[in-house]
Amino acid sequence: MAFRMYRIERLWRVYPGTFRDRDGDVVTDVAVQAAIVPQRTQLSADTTWVDVVYSVYEQPDADGHHGETSVLLAGPDADTTGVFGTVFRVPEGGGDLYLANPDTPELDVTFVERIEVA
Residue-wise pLDDT for 59-91, tens only, equals: 999 999 999 999 999 999 999 999 988 999 999
**Tally of CB atoms within 10 A around 89:** 15
Nearest in space to 35 (alpha carbons), one of 82, 83, 71, 79: 71
* CATH number, domain with residue 86: 2.60.40
Into how many domains does the chain fold? 1
Residue-wise pLDDT for 1-34, tens only, equals: 789 999 999 999 999 999 888 888 898 888 999 9
Query: Whole domain around residue 71: which residue ranges?
Result: 2-117
Global pTM value = 0.90
Q: Alpha-carbon distance 56 to 66, whole Å?
A: 6
